[in-house]
Amino acid sequence: MARAILTDIEGTTSGISFVKDVLFPYARRALPGFVRAHGSEPGVRKWLDAVAAENGGMCRDEMVVEVLQGWIDQDRKHTALKALQGMIWAAGYRDADFTAHIYPDAADGLVRWHAAGLPLYVYSSGSVPAQRLFFGHSDAGDLTRLFSGWFDTEIGGKREVDSYRRIAEAIELPASEVLFLSDVVEELDAAREAGMDTVLVDRREDYPEARTGEATGGHLRVETFDRIDPQA
Ligand SMILES: CSCCC(=O)C(=O)COP(=O)(O)O
Ligand SMILES: [Mg+2]
């Protein structure tokens, strides 16, 4: 029986196409102007310098921007890219250029579990500020009040077992009392190895071919949040 739920975002609460077709292109387009306008602010500079250092210490911001745009095209889950994307998306949400997609069953499930007293946590490759913006401006309104905590790759990669151990420690629960929801089997494998319960959320909109048999990695598989029973 779960005493807390930890959820992924992209492909789990929300559609992959919103992230790929709306958020990523917005960040790609806005990146050069954002770096010109904010590149000297310490909170931005630190990430630009980290990217430059990883690429042989190049100094021109234009080159860093090109590297970052390449990473967006490759869907790299790099902490520096994710931090900068979050800052850029803030303007998009503020100007109501978009709201964040959330599957209605996911919004309903989160509201229901919260009302039942289950603490809810997010673990996504998106930065914590980006997660807060996402759920603060979702298609179902501001859902941030539902969450008791937020984790991103600053705690470790999503396919690394230690990340899940650290999250359990941070929320002060044994891993065995945490239920992790994700669309990515490798993430679920890492969470299971850390001792968490796991559910593969296999959405037809994101994965037109249902994952069955070995492709589920042996994780319980559902297509919507309605099918998840945290008491099981
Ligand atoms: C919450 S920010 C938008 C999503 C994003 O940038 C991302 O990489 C999502 O990855 P996830 O770990 O939620 O699958
Ligand atoms: Mg995901």
DSSP for 59-122 reads --HHHHHHHHHHHHHHT---HHHHHHHHHHHHHHHHTTS--B---HHHHHHHHHHHHTT--EEE
Q: How far apart are CA 160 and CA 78, in angstroms?
A: 14
Interface confidence, given as ipTM, is 0.97
105: Cβ contacts below 8 Å, ≥ 6 apart:
224, 225, 226
**What is the per-residue pLDDT across 162-215, written as a single tens digit (0 to 9) for each?**
999 999 999 999 999 999 999 999 999 999 999 999 999 999 999 999 999 999
Indicate the top mutation candidate among 7, 8, 10, 164 to test ligand 1's pocket, ranked by most ligand atoms within 8 A of CB. Answer: 10
- Residue 16 Cα, ligand 1 centroid: separation in angstroms? 9
CATH of 19-94, one of 3.30.1560, 1.20.120, 1.20.58, 1.10.720: 1.10.720
Neighbours of ion ligand 2 (CB under 5 A): 8, 10-11, 183
User: Domain spans of the chain?
Assistant: 4-15+99-227, 19-94
- Using alpha carbons, select from 5, 180, 219 the residue that is nearest to residue 109: 5
Q: Is the dihedral of CA 191, 119, 22, 12 positive or negative?
A: positive
Is 4-15+99-227 a domain of CATH 3.40.50.1000?
Answer: yes
91, 98 contact by CB (below 8 A): no
* Look-up of token digits 């630009």: 48
**What is the per-residue pLDDT across 91-105, written as a single tens digit (0 to 9) for each?**
999 999 999 999 999
**What is the per-residue pLDDT across 112-145, written as a single tens digit (0 to 9) for each?**
999 999 999 999 999 999 999 999 999 999 999 9
Q: How far apart are CA 108 and CA 110, in angstroms?
A: 6
**What is the per-residue pLDDT across 24-39, written as a single tens digit (0 to 9) for each?**
999 999 999 999 999 9
The pair of three-digit structure tokens given for residue 170, joined into one six-digit string: 């941070």
